[in-house]
A and B are shown apart, each in its own frame.
Chain A
Amino acid sequence: MYRYDSYDQSMVDARVEEFRDQVQRRLSGALTEDQFKPLRLMNGLYLQLHAYMLRVAIPYGTLSARQMRKLGEIAAKYDRGYGHFTTRQNLQYNWIKLADAPDILAELASVEMHAIQTSGNCIRNISSDQYAGVSPDEVTDPRPWAELLRQWSSFHPEFTYLPRKFKIAVIASDEDRAAMRLHDIGLKLVERDGRIGAEVYAGGGMGRTPMVAPLIRDFVSEDEIVSYLEACLRVYNRYGRRDNKYKARIKILVHELGVEEYKRQVEEEFAHMRTLGLNPPVEELDRIRAFFAPPAYESDLSEDIDRSDPAFALWVDRQVAAHKAPSYAIVNISLKPLTGIPGDASAEQIELVASLADQYSLDEIRVTHAQNLVLPHVKKADLYAIWQKLDEAGLAEANLDLITDIIACPGLDYCALANARSIPLAQKIAQRFANAERQAELGELKLKISGCINACGHHHAGHIGILGVDRKGVENFQLLLGGSGAGDASLGQITGPGFSEDGVVDAIEKVTDIYLAERTQGERFLDTYRRIGMKPFKEAIYG
């Protein structure tokens, strides 16, 4: 894992002290709320429905055990004993006191963490593949580039006040586990003629105007990725609309200019950037890359897994993925217990996962955009012991990518922007489909719920998506079918008129019944939808 050098640490420490002074001035009345609000947002501190909310950055979703433990300690000491893992691989605390915020940031800084750029019109936390570095199908480990971009984008003076927020994802596998093409910029690292570089996608996103990012450059060599992105951002910063926040994201610019014209302008800027010597020296990428060198995996270990316990075998089949080292495995920890809150983890559960990482996963944890956790380096021989400990803590649900593995934003239970509650609906759906055999029968079925048009719950990218709306003060839910955030990215289509909370659960059941009746051998829900179209589903739902 990357470790801060003296520059990183001094920047973060200085920011903590700066914010401590700003909070003190706010509490004394020297700063008004209008003056203070942009300052607190730059440090990830929102005023939400019930209290202040602090969003902590987890760069490319990677945590050490020490960092994870600290997140649990903060939840217990300053919050109400839990945290919420988000679709940007970050963590949010919901009950923060303003006066405590500087101390919390100081505690985060003590483990090389912060909340900088988790809000505001800047480049946000870089996201990546939760299997980075351990997936057998990756071309290279994407984390060194994600870290390089973290450093490039942190406090970037030119991109601190962009027209709107800006999200970047980096992957290096054909299987997209990071919803890469639904980002403002998505990088897919590839190998061409023995050289590593990136396919660059720009202008994707969800929100009120969802778009799948088009490819704007087929290959940028690894040593020019930074200056190419600099060119992409410059064109956006110059021409992105600042007159209308709903049209200010890069996706609108790319759409309005047209892909070819945006590409042309970027290439022109890139040609200029190349003359400026802005790419980091090769030695710096090598320095960063060294932090992500593969760990010393033990050899001569057994690759066998004792599957005599049926509950354990079920969990292995669902939650464990292949690792590039044959004696090791990737463990997915579900944060979707059937009666729980998607993405929430108690301080005790966070501490447990930290301990498991210490003991069994070479000190590493990953957060996924689907609001689950991953232990990336587990010996197959240790799987049973881990499963037992997870089971005791209520973390052994075997539902990865099934209908109950629901992405849900905090919704109207916590969020000041929301129009409807996402979490109670997720719980009702999970309970309706609680039967494990039924879930397995339905197979991969990604269900995603957003409580408003801002789409933090990625409803556009759900095989089944749900959007909560406000209809004259009453919660109402629109149903979408056919979205995907994976390599076959697509946007869901609305079925028709919306439903009450119970009505949408019934509608989902009808949709799954149609799928089961119509599917052919080996078809996932999404495949069947794409083959037969919306009509049969619509007829079943609306009669």
Chain B
Amino acid sequence: MKILTGNDLVSGDVIWWAGDGWSRQVGDSVDVGQSGDDLARTEEAALRVVGAYVIDATVTEDGVRPAHIKDRIRALGPTVRPDLTLKPNDADTGNWVI
């Protein structure tokens, strides 16, 4: 599947296109098919996102998983600071990106 990601213009937070808006959770991502680039342009023009780009992902039993490790780290947060990730109570959360 193709999913769309970028950063929130104001906060800089990593965000994912969820079909009707943006989410901080990669698991909310929807398949954007061939419409990702148009969507990125529209959303950037509306000042809701900066640096938007389309990536490959798969759906696993754990949910949506970006294909590349860099995007998995973007989705999670720094693996060396579990307290700053989206799963702060899971000390082994970094294993998800590998």
Q: Report A's interface with B, CB cutoff 8 A.
A: 26-27, 29, 33, 47, 49-52, 80, 95-99, 341, 412-414, 416, 418, 421, 423-424, 427, 473-475
Contacts and interface: CB of A to CB of B under 8 A. Distances in A.
Interface stretch (B28-36, B57-65, B72-80): B72-80
Interface centre among A27, A47, A50, A423 (most CB of B within 10 A): A50
18 contacts: A27-B9, A27-B47, A33-B44, A33-B50, A33-B51, A49-B70, A50-B74, A98-B12, A99-B10, A341-B81, A413-B73, A413-B78, A413-B80, A421-B73, A421-B79, A423-B80, A424-B79, A424-B94
A423 B84 CA distance: 15
Interface of B: 7, 9-14, 44, 47, 50-51, 67-70, 73-74, 77-81, 84, 94
Nearest to A427: B80
A473 B80 contact: no
Nearest to B78: A413
A29 B51 contact: no
A242 B9 CA distance: 31
Nearest to A418: B70
Contacts of B9: 26-27, 98
Contacts of B67: 473
Nearest first, the 3 A-B pairs at minimum CB distance are A51-B12, A52-B12, A413-B78
The B contact surface, by secondary structure, is loop
Contact of B69 (A95, A423, A475): A475
B80 A341 contact: yes
Interface centre among B68, B73, B77 (most CB of A within 10 A): B73
B24 to A, nearest CB: 11
A97 B44 contact: no
Contacts of A96: 12
B11 A51 contact: yes
Contacts of B47: 27, 29
Given A33-B51, A51-B7, A98-B12, 16 more contacts: A47-B12, A50-B12, A51-B11, A51-B12, A52-B7, A52-B12, A80-B84, A98-B9, A413-B73, A413-B78, A416-B70, A418-B70, A421-B79, A424-B79, A424-B94, A473-B67
A99 B12 CA distance: 10
A51 B13 contact: yes
A224 to B, nearest CB: 45
Nearest to B77: A50
A335 to B, nearest CB: 14
Contact of B80 (A47, A49, A424, A475): A424
Given A47-B12, A47-B50, A51-B12, A473 B68 contact: yes
A33 B74 CA distance: 20
Contacts of A33: 44, 50-51
Contacts of B10: 27, 97-99
Contact of A47 (B51, B69, B79, B81): B51
Contacts of B77: 50
A47 B7 contact: yes
Nearest to B67: A473
Contacts of A475: 69
Contacts of A52: 7, 12
A50 B70 CA distance: 11
A95 B12 CA distance: 8
Interface centre among B14, B44, B47, B80 (most CB of A within 10 A): B80
